[in-house]
Amino acid sequence: MEDARDLKACPVDFDHESEAHVAAWPGEFREMRGTCPVAWTEKHGGFWVATRYKDIVAMAQDDATFSSFKTFDPHSGDVSGGITIPATPIPRGLPVEADRPDWDIFRKYLNRRFAPKAAEARRAGVRRYADSLLNRVIETGEMDLVNDFTGPVPAMTTMELMGLPLDEWRQFADPLHEMVFTPKESPDFPHVIAGVQWIFQRCVETFRERRSQPPRDDLLSYFAHEQIDGRPLTEDEMLSFCNNIITGGVDTTTALTTHALVYLDENAADRRRLMDDPTLLPIAREEFVRYFTPIHGLARNVSRDVEMGGAKMEKGDRVYLAWAAANRDPEVFDAPEDVDIARFPNRHIAFGAGMHRCIGSFMARVMFEEMMQVVFARIPDYRVDPARARRYTSVGTINGWIDMPTRFTPGPRIETGLVL
Ligand code: HEM
């Protein structure tokens, strides 16, 4: 009889979590796309890796076959499914780790809070956070780009969106960033996790407070007062929403903006072009999202035997959809390994594809644009120092930087009405 393992064609020695992958990923994906577009690796209990644009889009769109559903038992720690490989032993994120028909209810409930108009309405607030954060450092002529600027701006914007007190911005921004880059075996990890738990505890406390207060215009108040499918939202569902929104929206936007600023420092002609012509910023933004793909890849769980890209997948298998590989597929993009800040059209799938496509993409775009414009306006001669900066030691989920020393000509503080 044929061993099930014999069916796993195209074996590769691939580990998206490894340190080697951080530098090697463009070449690894190029080779796999050409030779084994749906390949099998034995790492992390075994999983498929999809690298071709068309296969990844097909899988993301076939949500009945490629499930995102996750189960987690907090008592035993048993975990299965979900969108990360290896599976993360924490309660599921919602709506991202739900399947239809539940997903329809969860997503519909959130949609109205994340429409383009709602994101646009936050633009002035984002600008104010960016300017106020720069005020803290602008007279010194130096900062850490990630920890002083591109990290806190999305963190503060998310706090405002949720309705959490802004004076706690540092306790909010740091653990969310540290959680992404601190290895699970590090002695610092328990401290980082305690910081993240503190954030979720603040969400619970604020949610309970909001239940006894009249409705106001923040997300925790919305969760406390707005019924879902004709009943109140449970505390677990509220936490699962917070988990998805907070972890999905903060460090991703940080990574995108940091990469873009580093790229522009290294490419003076593009920097000049973008500063001279601000109308190019939305087009360049999409190219940075494509090229750097802040969420490199996410998982699905195969719910029936199916053939995809020449691979025979079996019910129960897991598959990693490498958005970053799809975004450099030469079948779809000319010169995919080059940054072209005027690339148009740009059909990247860095915000996903199919029903789980990012609900926060409009918010992310607003945050990115405002951070870039504040840098261009107030510290136009900034210089980063990637040689002294630290890259994430794993980019399998988020492709970002731990820190980024940065210098600029000192400038004046400006009035924002907010002292941090
Ligand atoms: C550059 C920044 C961002 C990137 C690259 C990004 C990327 C993604 C991707 C790839 C997905 C698809 C997940 C899947 O298919 O399994 C997704 C979903 C999601 N994102 Fe984002 N995201 C970003 C910013 C944000 C922001 C700012 C928020 C919230 C404020 C957010 C909230 C969500 C949520 C709630 C989902 C789940 C949607 C669903 O399952 O229906 N994201 N994001």
387 CA to middle of ligand 1, Å? 30
The full DSSP string for 159-224 is HHHHT--GGGHHHHHHHHHHHHHS-TTSTTHHHHHHHHHHHHHHHHHHHHHHHTS---SSHHHHHH
Which stretches within 267-308 are classed as H helix? 268-276, 281-292
Atom of ligand 1 nearest to the CA of 107: 41
> What are the residues whose beta carbons fall under 8 Å from the beta carbon of 367, sequence distance 6 or more?
126, 153, 154, 157, 253, 257
How far apart CA 83 and CA 104 sit, in angstroms, is 18
Residues 117 and 229: their CA atoms lie apart, in Å, by 24
Answer whether 244 contacts ligand 1 (Cβ < 6 A). yes
User: What does the block give as tokens for 206?
Assistant: 């604020």
Task: Please identify, by atom number, the ligand 1 atom nearest to the C-alpha of residue 110.
Answer: 35
Q: What is the mean pLDDT of residues 354-372?
A: 98
Q: In 3D, which of 133, 136, 145 has the Cα closest to residue 407? A: 145
More confident residue, 394 or 288: 288
Q: Can you state the angle between helices 235-266 and 169-181, rounded to 10 degrees?
A: 80
pLDDT tens per residue across span 173-209: 899 889 888 887 889 988 988 999 999 999 999 999 9
Please work out whether the CB of residue 122 comes within 6 Å of at least one atom of ligand 1.
no
Greatest Cα pair distance, the chain, in angstroms, is: 76
Nearest-CA residue for atom 21 of ligand 1: 358
Question: At residue 6, does pLDDT exceed 70?
Answer: no
What pLDDT does residue 8 have? 79
CA atoms within 13 A on the CB side of 216: 15
352 lines ligand 1 (CB under 6 A): yes
Range with the poorest average pLDDT among 193-202, 279-288, 313-322, 330-339: 193-202
Structure tokens at 227: 């019924």
3-state secondary structure of 258: helix
Q: Which of 222, 225, 267, 261 is nearest to 242 (CA)?
A: 222
pLDDT for position 4 = 42
Centroid of ligand 1 to alpha carbon of 237 (angstroms) = 18
Q: Evaluate if residue 271 carries a pLDDT over 60.
A: yes
Predicted pLDDT of residue 5? 44
What length does the chain have? 420
Residue 135 has phi, psi (to 5 degrees) of -55, -35
Find the Cα–Cα–Cα–Cα dihedral 31, 34, 39, 42, rounded to 10°: -20
Please indicate whether residue 297, judged by its CB atom, sits closer than 6 Å to ligand 1: no
Per-residue model confidence (pLDDT) at position 226: 97
Nearest atom of ligand 1 to the alpha carbon of 255: 1
Model confidence band, residue 397 (pLDDT cutoffs 50, 70, 90)? confident
Per-domain boundaries in the chain: 4-407
Ligand 1 site, residue 359, Cβ cutoff 6 A: yes
Residue 11 pLDDT class (50, 70, 90 cuts): confident
When mean pLDDT is compared across 11-20, 136-145, 361-370, 406-415, the lowest value belongs to 11-20
Residue 298 CB less than 6 A away from ligand 1: yes
The contacts of residue 390 (CB under 8 Å, 6+ apart) are 401, 402, 403
Ligand 1 near 368 CB (within 6 A): no
Helices (H) and strands (E) in the chain, counts: 14, 14
Q: What is the DSSP letter of 44?
A: G
First to last CA, the chain: 68
pLDDT of 132 reads 98
Q: Can you say how many angstroms the Cα of residue 36 is from the centroid of all Cα atoms in its chain?
A: 27
pLDDT for the residue 193: 87
Mean per-residue pLDDT over the chain, rounded: 95
In a mutational test of the pocket of ligand 1, which residue from 223, 351, 368 has the highest number of ligand atoms less than 8 Å from its CB? 351
Q: What average pLDDT does range 7-22 have in this prediction? A: 88
Dist. CA 315–CA 389, nearest whole Å: 43
Q: Give the number of the atom of ligand 1 that is nearest the alpha carbon of residue 154.
A: 27
CA-proximal residue: ligand 1, atom 43 (nearest): 358
**Ligand 1 near 294 CB (within 6 A):** yes
Neighbours of 251 (CB within 10 A): 28
- Who has greater pLDDT, 384 or 185? 384
Spell out where 212-347 has E strands. Answer: 298-302, 306-308, 311-313, 318-321
Average pLDDT over residues 409-418: 98
Contact predicate 66/302, CB 8 Å: yes
- Give the H or E element holding residue 322: none
The Å distance, Cα 370 to ligand 1 centre, comes to: 19
Give yes or no for residue 111 having a pLDDT over 70: yes
pLDDT > 80? residue 1: no
> CATH assignment of 4-407, given 1.10.3720.10, 1.10.10.60, 3.40.50.620, 1.10.630.10?
1.10.630.10
DSSP three-state, residue 153: helix
* Digit-coded pLDDT (tens) for 113-163: 999 999 999 999 999 999 999 999 999 999 999 999 999 999 999 999 999
Separation of alpha carbons 274 and 280, rounded Å:
6
Distance in angstroms (rounded) separating the CA atoms of residues 344 and 285: 11
pLDDT at residue 303 tops 90: yes
Tokens coding 389: 């900066």
Are 145 and 133 contacting, i.e. CB atoms less than 8 angstroms apart?
no
**Which residue's CA lies nearest to atom 23 of ligand 1?**
249
3-state secondary structure of 38: strand
pLDDT tens figures, 53-83 = 999 999 999 999 999 999 999 899 899 999 9
77 alpha carbon – ligand 1 mean position (Å): 26
- Could you tell me if 164 and 172 are in contact, meaning their C-beta atoms sit under 8 angstroms apart? yes
Is any atom of ligand 1 closer than 6 Å to the C-beta of 109? Answer: no
Which residue of 120, 218, 358, 399 sits with most ligand 1 atoms within 8 Å of its CB, as the best mutation to test the pocket? 358
Q: What is the phi/psi pair of residue 241, to 5°?
A: -65, -45
Q: How far apart are CA 310 and CA 8, in angstroms?
A: 11
Residue with tokens 């090229």: 291
pLDDT grade for 2, boundaries at 50, 70 and 90: very low
Ligand 1 pocket member 288 (CB < 6 A): no
Q: Confirm if 400 and 258 have CB atoms less than 8 A apart.
A: yes
Residue closest via CA to ligand 1's atom 39 equals 356
Parallel, antiparallel, or unpaired: how do β-strands 318-321 and 383-384 relate? unpaired
